Structures are given as C-alpha cells and as structure tokens.
Amino acid sequence: MSRSALWREPSVLPGFAPSLTATLLWLGLLVVAPLAVMVATAAGLGWSGFWTLVLRPRVLGDLQVSVFTALAASAIDAIFGFIIAWVLARYRFPGRRLVDALIDLPFALPTAVAGIALAALYAPHGPIGAVLAPFGITIAYTRAGIVVALMFVGLPFIIRTLEPVIAELETEQEEAAEMLGASPATSFMQVLLPPLLPALLTGFALALARGLGEYGSVIFIAGNKPMVSEILPLLIVTELEQFDFPGAVAIATLMLSASFLLLIAVNLLQAWVRRQNGE
C-alpha cells in the first residue's frame, strides 16, 4: 500500500489494478511488442547496413515524391481548410450542417474506395480529367494525382483543428482592432492570424503526417512509376512482395521516425497553444 502511494494518488474508486493491467496487456501485445521487434530487426541490420538500404536511389527518389506531394497537399489544404473552417465557425447559412457533416467524409470513406473514385474522376476520360485534358493538364497517374488524393485525406485535419479555435476567438477582438483604426487586412494579419497560427500549423503537421503514410487512396491514382510517381509506402509493399524484408524494414523505420518527429512537433504546438491561452 505505502509503496503504491508513491506513484499514484490515492482514490476511493476500486478497479485500478485490473483496468491498468488490461490496458497495458492489450497495449503491449498490439503496439509495443510489434514495434520493439521491428526496431530490433532494424537494429540487426547494423548502422551501415541500415543506411545502405535507405540511401538506395529508388528509396531516395520515392522519399522525395512522398515528401513533396504531402507538403504540397497539406499546403493547399491549409489555405482552403482555413477558409472552410472560418465559414463553418463564423457564418450561418442554409446547408451549413450538411457541409459540416461532409467534412468528415475522408475519415469515414475507406481509402481504397476514395482511391478508385478519385482515379475515375481524374482519369483522362473521367469527368474532371476530360475537362482538363484539352488544356494539357494531366492529373491521374502523375504526381498531381498523388497531391489530389492526399488533399482529400488531409482536409479534415486542418478544418477540425482550426474550427474550434476560430469559434472561440471573440469577434470583439476584430471589433477592437477596427475601433483602433486597423484596416481589414491589418486586422487579419496582426490580430486574427497570430492566435490561429499554432492551430493552423498543428493541422498542417497532422495532414502532413497522414499524407506521408497514406496508401490506399493514392495507389490507384498515382502512376506508381519508381522515383517519379511512386510513394514510399508503396515501395514497402513492393519490397515485401519481393521478399526483401530488410529493405522494407529499413524504409518503415525511416517513416516511423518521421511520424514520431511530427508527433513531437504537434505536441509542442499544442503546448504552445495552451500557454498562449494562459492555461
């Protein structure tokens, strides 16, 4: 009893030990054990062995494709997501609730379904592809196709992070800026944007993390041409199919590290938000 009091605050509620045991067991079996084994496998490759596998031209080329497309998609999402979040948080208009519900479609729609739908839309003879073709714009089976797919899956992250923050921003702040003589542009840049920036960056980082790891919605619309329109997760699958297990593990470790870094960035951003709100 006295020992447990050192690491846990006493409570009259029962059930701490069994519920914690169940939680840790499930967590250990499903998350920690596979993670530990894969990290051990990666470590088994040795330092130079690991880097030899990571620095292969195809890996670097695909990495570049993945990073470029995810950055581009998150940036476009950030702009339009900002507008949509603003509209949802601030304005009341007919169909607002429908729009609000639709925002979560990319979360609810299976990625493979989204993938074939986007491919059909943007294919050269698809409804959108056919419109763009005369202008010499090809989306499907190029990097642009990957960007479109990643925009689809990333959009809700931006909107759902920003919307509550915008809703909590008092309209009085803008009015105060106006009363002090600020133009709408000044008011936006100096009064509105700064408090929203951490949330916008958080949403961007989340969309980016999702974009880097996304698979299902991309592979149908991407050309999957190595180093041109092939994403890193697809390379992992390819290597696994060719029974190149060490290669796949090396790439997966690289991607895991990237998502950890993004996760840490998001947490730091959240701490920043809390500090700013004086919490």
CB atoms within 10 A of CB 21: 10
CB of residue 55 to another protein, shortest distance in Å: 19
> How far is 155 from 217, CA to CA, in rounded Å?
14
Q: Are 58 and 226 in contact (CB under 8 A)?
A: yes
Residue type, 66: S
CB of residue 39 to another protein, shortest distance in Å: 9
User: CA torsion angle for 32, 38, 39, 42 (degrees, to 10)?
Assistant: 180
Residue partners of 103: CB distance under 8 A and separation at least 6? 84, 88, 155, 156, 159, 160
Nearer to another protein, 134 or 278 (CB): 278
Residue type, 83: I
CB of residue 16 to another protein, shortest distance in Å: 5
Nearer to another protein, 35 or 137 (CB): 35
Give the tokens for residue 48: 């130079």
CB of residue 244 to another protein, shortest distance in Å: 12
> How far is 90 from 121, CA to CA, in rounded Å?
32
CB of residue 31 to another protein, shortest distance in Å: 6
Nearer to another protein, 47 or 93 (CB): 93
Nearer to another protein, 48 or 108 (CB): 108
CB of residue 74 to another protein, shortest distance in Å: 14
Nearer to another protein, 169 or 227 (CB): 169
Q: Are 200 and 162 in contact (CB under 8 A)?
A: yes
List b or e across 266-278, with b for residues whose CB sees 16 or more CB atoms inside 10 angstroms: beebeeebeeeee
CB atoms within 10 A of CB 215: 15
Nearer to another protein, 135 or 170 (CB): 170
